[in-house]
Structure 1
């Protein structure tokens, strides 16, 4: 709902309008609350996949690395957002675009780091760096490649991202992968923590208004945290308790360039570059959504190009310091449409808040004390919403026989390889990692089939046997 006390309708539609610091601060923090959990979750997931340890009982070996990755997620989300709102030459749309760590790359990153710990980090972040530079180059041709990524392809890819992640949410809610063989895994206590998060999140999202509704996920996590405190799932004392973790974390720490070194991995570079196409198209959609929802107009070519440049360079710089790929956050697009405040300076205030949090490791240490079961409740909601967003995109597709064939083959092969990775165990390592991501083979098959199959292959599908040629 538009707040007319902030400015006139003409002012609210102007990206250059500044409503004053007293109003810009709460509006900016509102943007941060809407994306905060989603922004740090990829760092937590990748840390868990690499084996860094998790939660209040995590060992000391992985704790500093996990905290650092969370810290970089906040810092470079803020920096990348400044690229968009303030701009730097051709870089940046100069629109209220909030950047954050992308979920899209998680299915690519997990196979790269699974169980390898810190040893996997040099190749991972080198891939982020090179993939980011490639992403920036897409800004020069983004208008010319959109034809290859219609809703059929982009919707399928988004669905695959969600499907690749829902297993992670269930594992976290049940107690985490390290505990899979323990008696506590899947216990009522664990599911109670996750369920508390889900119930509170849904209640606030659908029955509350304003800030309570916008902050539903983060408030749900707080409720789950309180549950965990009540039932003794969080330890205050000991070497790995809350007090020790927070007190041992520095009050201020600057990011370290190439903290984990530099190592070229073909699988990482190819994976990040291929996913850059999807991320770039997602940003195009978000920029268009912002200008339509906030200003009632179409996005200009210059804005789309600048946003893509900012996406890529923000990702590349993050990779140098141990941050993950950044992209525009769709939930903040909806927030702009709801508030009617188009001011890019409001989002700049939110970006500064993120940067401050990213420079204070104690913030990351506090996040790292969240029990994995509590986070599981949050990510079940978030990853389910990713799938729902993909389904929403697919609703725009004309479901003729041609498009159903493309969708069926791409989904079957991609999801099948993800569920049964041993099916390609004899492929070279690079190709095996890319194929078992599920996401890349699905995207590749969908793009190729969409380009080569004749457009006039239509007709109503026969559910019982429409592919047999009877219709």
Structure 2
């Protein structure tokens, strides 16, 4: 019945097919619902790390709203680059772009406690990193050999592990402070648990729109719970609404630019990882939606759009963009491959980004409610990395590479003072954990022979590998 309304199976697999508007608009909005929370969360995390005040009376309130606004606006702009395209830019496929979680471990050390003063360096890195990312489109196919599932799976897992601490802090009441006795209290945790339980119930016991929008609905239910418990007041909502403008265009070079080595190097190195993720998403879309492999032009075009969208966002005070994997799954589920459906979703995002009052309402969401949502999302990032690692041939060689890269990367995350004598820029890069782990994994994967001897591995694994092999 659904196919007869939307089109024939052949039409549904065609990216250029446009369903009737009565179906295309809900399908486009559904794409936005699937990624909306994930898209604005990085801006809130970065603002919190910078020390922005989260209350509506805070002097930083307009800056926080602006970051949220830019996250929505330039997710829409970057999505249009993918769906409509411009010359070689854009895959012209139903690819949804959004603010990337992958760069958060790089951004947090850059802005930690520095407030608005940290933003010029941050956006300088975003701009240069985006341009570098776009340049990868010229030879993305040639560097894929250096990024097998062992490397990409490790990096994605590390991204999730770097973020889970943020999720727990948010669920407990925000970044802990000396004068915050309610941190970790029952009210905080109960609010986060409501979000988690509702999200799980909808994800596993419903289908269609309810299942796809489980995180968003979970946050809405948590918001209502927080309102009932007095965590949110209608006065606060009214104040936020009144302080936000009805319409505000983006401001080019709003915070100025400063090009710091750590920021530029960090964003450029992470751009390589983001580009590979986009290649995977493009392949997933063409396989799941059209039953074919992605063409070289589609992969290159998607990479150009990925980087150019990030660079444009950086010029206006937006954070890095990347393709959103949850929307790849949505295409496979609905079977609708139309890029014009996603274009409708992009226009909706742009509209939200131009109306700061939308950001003002988002900002009234208590940090504990967001904590429940991001615990689920960040956990899924880790799970996605583990899923990628499942494709690895776990011989002795790969076990050693993974062990060393994970130990160094995670260890430097947990103990940043271990490199306190390095220059400031090097400290930022090293303590992210991601970059040293990725660099070690890439270099060892290229240099080590395909098979290590049994003796060379027994010393590392305590003989377990050898005993397992003997059995």
Instruction: Classify the TM-score, shorter chain.
Output: over 0.9
Cα distance in 2 for partners of 1:76, 1:341 equals: 24
Aligned to 2:363: 368
Mapped contact 1:127–1:265 kept (Cα < 8 A): yes
SS in 2 for 1:139: helix
Shift in Å at residue 179 of structure 1? 4.1
Deviates more, 1:451-460 or 1:77-86: 451-460
* Aligned mate of 2:63, from 62, 65, 68: 65
Aligned to 2:408: 413
Mapped contact 2:56–2:240 kept (Cα < 8 A): no
Matched, 1:322 2:317: yes
Matched, 1:140 2:138: yes
The verdict on how the C-alpha distance between 1:459 and 1:223 changes in structure 2, with shifts beyond 3 A counting, is farther
Shift in Å at residue 343 of structure 1? 0.2
Cα distance in 1 for partners of 2:57, 2:430 equals: 33
Cα distance in 1 for partners of 2:413, 2:194 equals: 30
Shift in Å at residue 61 of structure 1? 1.4
Mapped contact 1:2–1:339 kept (Cα < 8 A): no
Aligned to 2:245: 250
Aligned to 1:193: 191
Matched, 1:106 2:101: no
Alignment of 1:157-236 (within 5 A): 157-179=155-177, 181-236=179-234
Q: Which has the higher helix share?
A: 2
Cα distance in 1 for partners of 2:83, 2:374 equals: 28
Shift in Å at residue 58 of structure 1? 5.2
Aligned to 1:442: 437
Shift in Å at residue 235 of structure 1? 2.5
Mapped contact 2:103–2:270 kept (Cα < 8 A): yes
Mapped contact 2:153–2:386 kept (Cα < 8 A): yes
Aligned to 1:85: 83
Mapped contact 1:2–1:340 kept (Cα < 8 A): no
**Superimposed CA distance per residue, residues 144-186 of structure 1 (whole angstroms, 9 cap, x where no aligned partner):** 0000000000000000000000000000000011546522100
Shift in Å at residue 262 of structure 1? 1.0
Matched, 1:331 2:329: no
Unaligned runs of 5+ in 1: none
Normalised by the length of structure 1, the TM-score is 0.96
**Superimposed CA distance per residue, residues 96-152 of structure 1 (whole angstroms, 9 cap, x where no aligned partner):** 000000000000000000000000000000100000000000000000000000000
Mapped contact 1:77–1:354 kept (Cα < 8 A): yes
Shift in Å at residue 469 of structure 1? 7.8
Cα distance in 1 for partners of 2:36, 2:305 equals: 20
Cα distance in 2 for partners of 1:101, 1:464 equals: 39
* Aligned mate of 2:286, from 283, 291, 316: 291
**Superimposed CA distance per residue, residues 256-295 of structure 1 (whole angstroms, 9 cap, x where no aligned partner):** 0010011111000000000000000000000000000000
* Aligned mate of 1:267, from 262, 267, 272: 262
Shift in Å at residue 467 of structure 1? 7.8
Unaligned runs of 5+ in 2: none
Cα distance in 1 for partners of 2:234, 2:431 equals: 40
How many residue pairs get aligned? The number is 466
Aligned to 1:25: 25
Normalised by the length of structure 2, the TM-score is 0.96
Cα distance in 1 for partners of 2:453, 2:225 equals: 54
Shift in Å at residue 2 of structure 1? 6.8
Mapped contact 1:2–1:341 kept (Cα < 8 A): no
